Each structure stands twice: as structure tokens, then as C-alpha cells.
Amino acid sequence: MRLARPRRWTGEWVVQKPRAVRRPWIRALACAALPVLGLVCPLGAAEGASPYLRLRESAPRYQGPEETVTHRAEIRIGWFGPTNLNDPLTGDLWWAANCALQEANRQAPPAVGTGAASPPLRLVPRWAVDPWGTGVSQLARMVYEEQPLALLGSVDSASTHLAEQVVAKANLPLVSPIATDNSVNLAGVPWMFSCAPSDAAVARALAGALLTELGDSRRKCVLLAATDHESRMTSRELLAELRRRGRLPDFRFDVPPGAADIDRQMQAAVEARPDAVVVIAGPEPAARLTRAVREKLGQAIVFGSHTLGRRSFRECAGPAAEGVRFPLLWTPPDATDTNAARFVQRFAAERGHEPDYAAALAYDATRLLIEAIRRAGPNRARVREALAELSPWRGVAGPIRFDGAGQNTRKDLPMAAIKRGALVPLSPTKDLAQTASNNPPR
């Protein structure tokens, strides 16, 4: 018997039945030796056996040495991401992280164990246009030279994988604000924590809304999916969820990142005559695909992943964004949530627009990490333990409850639509059913 990873890795190791021995004399020798060695085991025992280990239900712990840093005049937190406030995709995240840091410095409690004033917090950024090349090397150098207590980042799932490789060797916590890729937390690295809901949660919400809209099997669905890392991971989870529900898309057309020409994919989509189109891509590529769908496919209903909730999607898509539906990672706060309302008010006053889910999650990730540092003191291992112990934690973007692998287990994602340029949450039983009745089969 041996442990084996399933073809689609879900965090569970299973006991695999040994392969048949092809040479008869080897089989005979093995059968004769097993009783002598006391290793007799029925070959059928592995059939239907439960997983040997469920990674998400376990609690990996750091068992190595601990070091408390007491001679620093400041506490440094690494930031693996761009720092250009004018960048439409990442500028809001950098602002939100600094906003949380400034608030924490103004309200600093006495230091743990000493009663003296807490040292100020400072973000130490590192990034490069090519994170897979110079970016990750700069991050590794910063971790060892600047000695941050923990890391925040990155701005997408692919870059978060890079940062995870660094913290696995350097032994410091990494808190990811917006990475939704399930596999980020399946490497068995005890330092990894993801604040965003997973692609699996996004897929469940999206698949449920899509199948409610399609109704019967006569209505067709097309999947337009980008092939960058983030989009591939989301598409994989969506297809797995739809397969479990017995209704895959009728057609799937892939779009390479930065493709100059999408006429071939759109012509194939037009020939399919779909009633619904699912767009899985980053905010700006998704806007381009949505504009093309509106132009070529007329009344086809457009669904998408959570990335359609980014402000940059609405700005790039323009009028074509009207009516698109997607899982909502953050619902704008009501008057009873004073912390969230205060964050939205300050953000809008300084940035000139309302925050989207990415900014809210960056603010939450920074606040959560700072609270863990305040509780644990300047000790990386204790900060890691504090992050795990603070779960469940309530942020402005919603609850954060880590599983054993450090992934936020939030599953209650509502669907939303864009109406007159604003995000409007949809009722799963009323709004979607009403839309389905207004769109009969072709």
C-alpha cells in the first residue's frame, strides 16, 4: 500500500492499492514472504478506505526554533506588491494597507510584556514588473536583510505562490489579501493564511446561479476563459462544480493572456447561439470579452467570476457591464457596521471613488496581521499562532475563519449584478427566478 495524490488534488491523501506484479515468480516470492514477515493484508482492504489525512481538517504547526526580536526601534511588515497609487488594479490595495497601518500606529497599545509604548509599524515593499524573475529575488533579499516580522501579499494568486516559497524557507507568516486559488494553501506550509474566499466558494455560487438561469437542458451555455494562472484555477473549480451537478457548458473557448485578436473565439461563440455566456478572466480582459459578447451575441446573459466586482472592470466595460452577474466577495456596509462605514468614508474621501472587494480585503488582511502582532509580540512563530487563534475574525469585507490549511472557509457568497454602474446584491430565489422567466429558450 502507498499514499497517493488524486489526479485532482483537494488536500486529501488516499491509500492506493498496489499495482499488480507482472512477473509470476516475483508474485509467488512476495506471497511466500508476507506471512513470515507478519505483513498479511487483504488486497481489498484499501477499497472504500477513508483518506489517511485531510489537510484542511488538520492543523499544521511550526515545530522549529523561536526568536524574539527586542532591539528594533520599529516593527517591519513586508509588502510583496506594487506601490503605485495610480495603478487601477493595485493602487487601492497599497492605499488600504497603509490606511490600516496608520490607524494602528495612532491607536498603539502598550507593548506585550513590557508595558512600554509599542514600536511603530512600517511597511517594507518589494516588487518588480516580472515577479517570477527579479521580483521574487528582491523579496527573498528583503526578507533576510530587512528582517520583517511577517509578509502581506501578493496582488494575485500566482505571485502569492512565489511569496509562499520564500516564507517556507525563511519561517515567517504570509497573509494573502485576495488570492482565491485553492492550491495556495495545499502545500503544507504552516505560515500561509488567505483572507479571501476560495475559488471553490466562488464556483458554488456561480454554478448555482447559472443553472437556475438555464433551467432546462435546451438552453445553451458557453464558457469564455482566459488562460492565465488565476483564470485557469477559477475555471477548473467552476467546471468541477458543474460536473458534480451534471451540467457542463455546451462549449468552452480559451483566450490567451493579452491576445490581440479574439475574432476566432467570438465567431465560434456566435455559431453556438448560447443563452448564457460565462466569462472567466481578470478585470480588464473580462471587460474586453464582455464588450465583445454584447456586440456579437445581443441578448445572451453574461455571468462571470468575482473579478467582475473590481472597479476597473466597470470602468473598462462601460455600458456593456450593465446586467452582468457574478459572486460578490464584499457587500457594501450598512449604517450598523461602523468600522466598515468609516473605512468606506475615508477611502472615498481620499481616493475619489468607493472601494471594491480587493481594497476591503487588503485593509482586513493588514488589520488582522497587526492584531496578531500586537497580541504575540515581535516573534514570528508566535505571530503565526496568534493568526490561527484569532480565527474567526470579523473584517469589513466579512468573516474570516481559517481551516487547518489557512484558507478562509467562508461559503455564503451572494450573487450580484451591475445596475446603472453600481453593484446590486441579488436575491437567490426572487431576482434570478424572475430573470429566468423573462428569458425563454430560443
- Pair 138, 117 in one domain: yes
Per the domain annotation, does 241 fall within a domain? Answer: yes
- Pair 173, 271 in one domain: no
Q: Which of 138, 167, 165 is nearest to 64 (CA)?
A: 167
- Pair 154, 204 in one domain: no
Find the angle CA(226)-CA(418)-CA(273) to the nearest 5 degrees.
Answer: 55
- Pair 245, 300 in one domain: yes
Per the domain annotation, does 65 fall within a domain? Answer: no
pLDDT for the residue 1: 45
- Pair 152, 225 in one domain: no
Q: Which residues of 366-392 are buried (b: 16+ CB within 10 A; e: fewer)?
A: bbbbbebbbbbbbbbbbbbbbbbebbe
Q: What is the pLDDT of residues 252-283, one digit of tens each?
A: 999 999 898 999 999 999 999 999 999 999 99
| Better pLDDT: 197 or 61 | 197
Determine the Cα–Cα distance for residues 325 and 434; give it in Å rounded to an integer.
14
- Pair 256, 352 in one domain: no
Average pLDDT over residues 317-337: 90
Which range (26-30, 111-115, 162-166) has the least confidence? Answer: 26-30
pLDDT for the residue 303: 98
Per the domain annotation, does 343 fall within a domain? Answer: yes
**pLDDT > 90 fraction of the chain, expressed in percent and rounded:** 71
pLDDT for the residue 15: 46
- Pair 366, 400 in one domain: yes
- Pair 194, 208 in one domain: no
| Better pLDDT: 228 or 331 | 228
| Better pLDDT: 392 or 436 | 392
Per the domain annotation, does 361 fall within a domain? Answer: yes
Res 66 pLDDT > 90: no
Q: Which of 346, 326, 351, 337 is nearest to 396 (CA)?
A: 337
pLDDT for the residue 108: 79
pLDDT for the residue 442: 37
For residue 98, the domain's CATH number is: 3.40.50.2300
- Pair 323, 362 in one domain: no
Per the domain annotation, does 428 fall within a domain? Answer: yes
* Structural domain total, the chain: 3
- Pair 304, 357 in one domain: no
Per the domain annotation, does 68 fall within a domain? Answer: no
Determine the Cα–Cα distance for residues 125 and 137; give it in Å rounded to an integer.
13
Bridging pattern class, strands 422-425 and 415-419: antiparallel
Per the domain annotation, does 225 fall within a domain? Answer: yes
Determine the Cα–Cα distance for residues 46 and 49; give it in Å rounded to an integer.
5
Q: What is the pLDDT of residues 78-131, one digit of tens each?
A: 999 999 999 999 999 999 999 999 999 998 777 666 666 789 999 999 999 898
Q: Is 89 helix (H, G, I), strand (E, B) or coil?
A: coil
Per the domain annotation, does 63 fall within a domain? Answer: no
Q: Is 279 helix (H, G, I), strand (E, B) or coil?
A: strand
- Pair 48, 109 in one domain: no
- Pair 260, 365 in one domain: no
Q: Are 224 and 292 in contact (CB under 8 A)?
A: no
Find the domain containing 318 and state its range: 200-331+415-437
pLDDT band at 195 (very low <50, low <70, confident <90, very high): very high
* DSSP states of 209-222: HHHHHH-STTS-EE
Q: What is the pLDDT of residues 119-133, one digit of tens each?
A: 999 999 999 989 888
When the pLDDT of each residue in the chain is averaged and rounded to a whole number, the result is: 86
Write the CB contacts of 332 (distance below 8 Å, at least 6 apart in sequence).
344, 354, 423
Q: Which of 20, 57, 23, 441 is nearest to 214 (CA)?
A: 441
